[in-house]
Amino acid sequence: MRAMTWSSSSYAMLAACLALAAAGWSEPAQSQGAAPGAGAKLDYEFFKTKVEPVFLTKREGHARCVMCHTVNNAPFHLVPLSPGATAWSEEQSRQNFELVQRVAVAGYMESPLIKHPLAQEAGGDAHHGGGQQFASQSDPAWQTLKEFVSGATAK
């Protein structure tokens, strides 16, 4: 029986695989409810005009998303608003769009952006420290997040 030899690149690949496994990452698979076709993309204009306002809206019993997600050290982080601003600048919105892609994968209906803030009873998960912002999948703001992840485009 021949002994197996490992190169430094083999060890690096093994370490990367173990790190991904420890982080709980798995390749997003198309799931039921995903946008039709494999070519779904996240649309910047839809994000800017429809999704960012969701992050700024105060919902009864909850802080606005922007309040925690600009100061936290979680995977989903937003750029802080400029002093006195009520919306992000174009440059800030583009940065937010890049950052949101850490928690939203086009066509992947298990993306944390739509699972974490949704109540568990409505199909969400328990991993959102900010509480369940949306009690139901019929909430219009949650529907906006789902449309974004599904690949909706600005009209």
- Token pair recorded at residue 43: 């649309």
Q: How many CA atoms lie within 13 A of 112 on its CB side?
A: 16
- Domain segments of the chain: what residues? 38-150
Rounded distance, CA 102 to CA 107, Å? 14
Q: What is the pLDDT along the chain (155 residues), one digit of tens a residue?
A: 444 444 444 444 444 444 434 444 444 433 344 443 356 799 999 999 999 999 999 888 888 888 888 988 788 899 999 999 999 999 999 999 999 999 999 999 999 999 988 988 898 887 766 668 888 999 999 999 999 999 999 97
> Is there a contact between 100 and 93 (Cβ–Cβ < 8 Å)?
no
Rounded distance, CA 65 to CA 53, Å? 10
3-state helix, strand, coil in the chain (%, to 5): 40, 0, 60
